Amino acid sequence: MAVEEQVIVERASSDIVILKINRPQVRNALNLAVRTRLADEVARAGADETVRCIVISGSETVFAAGADIGEMADAGPVEVMSRNVQKYWRVLTECPKPLIAAVEGFALGGGLELALCADIIVAGEGAKLGLPEVKVGILPGGGGTQKLARLVGRQRAMLLIMTGRMFGAAEALSMGVVSEVAPAGHALARALDIAGEIAAMPPISITQIKEIVNAGLNAPLETALMLERKAFQLQFATRDQKEGMQAFLEKRKPKFEGK
């Protein structure tokens, strides 16, 4: 299969991009070609002024069942270090545009770590998530240990990572791993609905919300509140703030331009 076919790029609308992982023969296992293409396409969409939201999905039966074991089984530590696969996920987490993951079926290991790069995760009811790396003699290396512990707490994260067990969409929702659960087979449709809602909002505000929430989580509360305060004040320099408040007063729908 050609590299170009391993990630299918679609426009759901003029302002929403869908990136679909397409390696059905290996349950969408994440090889370097897929990681590179995802990072490249997210970077491209992030720099495109017409794009307001990005959705990443797999198929209706699997999001991504993990890293491509065939690429790493015989690798040595220097080779693994030189690959530095974490750099691809960093592009996703640092993208200024909202990123939504639509998860159906398996999201395991690197697949779950990919989903955790998103700002919002919509999981189908039949989704199965987990970090099973310990079962093949390694541990999560794409952010899984740290991100999961921050989401669910140390004790539960230790249980999930040390046993490598899978958990379903309902449990993932109760733990705060996913944002919303959709009927099986409808995760992508629901993700696109949410993307449409976000795309209708003022882009500058959305970008600032993403930035200050992410930065604030790694800062003391007083510092985080200062970041929020400064970002709030800067909104009053935008045309969208004037348009939004004027539309509210005039009881009409605002038209945001990202200016």
Distance CA 214, CA 21 (A): 26
Distance CA 40, CA 2 (A): 16
Q: Name the catalytic one among 111, 113, 130, 157.
A: 113
DSSP of 11-34: EEETTEEEEEE--GGGTT-B-HHH
Classify residue 100 as exposed, middle or buried by CB count within 10 Å of its CB (0-12, 13-18, 19+): buried
133 catalytic per annotation: yes
Distance CA 14, CA 16 (A): 6
Q: 95 is written with which tokens?
A: 């993208």
Please say whether the dihedral angle defined by the alpha carbons of residues 41, 47, 51 and 55, taken in this order, is positive or negative.
positive
Q: 213 is written with which tokens?
A: 């929430």
Torsion of CA 171, 175, 179, 181, to 10 degrees: 10
Alpha helices, H only, 166-218: 169-175, 187-199, 203-217
67 catalytic per annotation: yes
258 catalytic per annotation: no
Q: Are 53 and 46 in contact (CB under 8 A)?
A: no
Beta bridge partners of 13: 16
Q: Name the catalytic one among 109, 110, 124, 143.
A: 110
Q: Name the catalytic one among 29, 67, 118, 199.
A: 67
Q: Name the catalytic one among 133, 169, 172, 231.
A: 133
110 catalytic per annotation: yes
CA distances in angstroms from 237 to 9, 40, 62, 250, 252, listed in the order given: 35, 32, 44, 21, 22
Catalytic residues: 67, 110, 113, 133
